[in-house]
Structure 1
Amino acid sequence: MMYRLIADAAMVVHFAFLVYMAVGGFVAWRWRRTLWAHLLVVAWGVLSIVTGVECPLTLAEDWARRHAGQAGLPASGFIDHYIEGVIYPEEYTNLARLGVAVLVLFSYVGYVLRRQ
């Protein structure tokens, strides 16, 4: 039971992380100090896409699911399992990534304009 809770918590935190990566720049419009945290989150997202490094949240969820007697995440990882093919078709992955990048850039431009 505890392993399942850990796995579910890791999944929820992972979704929250991805949402924050997409819209955290807008949060910084109100709370400026959060910009640094958002920059780190975006850097991690870019690093994981470019290098393919596996997210610790994915590893934690997979580990907990296996210890709970469930099937772990597929080798393709969290996004391929929960998002691609579920929220948007797999062939639109690059378009979805571009959309998030544009959203982040727009939030940063807005941040700079609001500071002036």
Structure 2
Amino acid sequence: MMFRALADITAAAHLAFVVYVVAGGFLAWRYRRTILLHGVAVAWGFVSIVIGVDCPLTQLESWARVRGGESALPSTGFIDYYLTGVVYPESMLGVIRFAAICTVAISWAGFAVLRSRSRHLSAT
């Protein structure tokens, strides 16, 4: 029971991280210092997808699931198991990745504009 709860909590944290990677840049519009943390999160997400580095959250969830008497997550990982084919069709994976990249880019562009305006206003 304890391991199952740990697996569930880890899955929820993983989902929150994925959402943060995609949309966390918008938080920096209000909380400027979070842009550095978001940059690190995006870099990790990029490396884990492009290079295939295993995510420690996936490993933790798999470990907890096995200890709780369930099967481990497949080696393809969290996104492939919980999102691809469930939330969106597998055929849309490229479109979803492109939309995620665009969302990050828009949030960072908005951050840059807001920061520029803030500096301009404080200089006058």
Q: Give TM class, smaller chain.
A: over 0.9
Q: CA deviation at 1:49?
A: 1.2
Report the equivalent of 2:44.
44
Give matches, 1:25-104, under 5 Å. Answer: 25-104=25-104
Larger Rg: 2
Mapped partners of 2:94, 2:52: distance in 1: 15
Mapped partners of 1:106, 1:70: distance in 2: 40
| TM-score between both structures, scaled by the size of structure 1 | 0.97
Mapped partners of 2:75, 2:26: distance in 1: 33
More displaced, 34-43 or 71-80? 71-80
RMSD between aligned residues: 0.7
Q: CA deviation at 1:32?
A: 0.5
Runs ≥4 residues deviating over 6 A = none
Report the equivalent of 1:6.
6
| TM-score between both structures, scaled by the size of structure 2 | 0.91
Q: CA deviation at 1:101?
A: 0.3
More displaced, 71-80 or 61-70? 71-80
Q: CA deviation at 1:55?
A: 0.4
Query: C-alpha offsets along residues 76-95 of structure 1, whole Å, 9 cap, x if unaligned?
Result: 11111100000110111111
Runs of 5+ unmatched residues, structure 1: none
Specify the SS of the correspondent of 1:87: coil
Mapped partners of 1:91, 1:49: distance in 2: 17
Specify the SS of the correspondent of 1:69: coil
More displaced, 72-81 or 41-50? 72-81
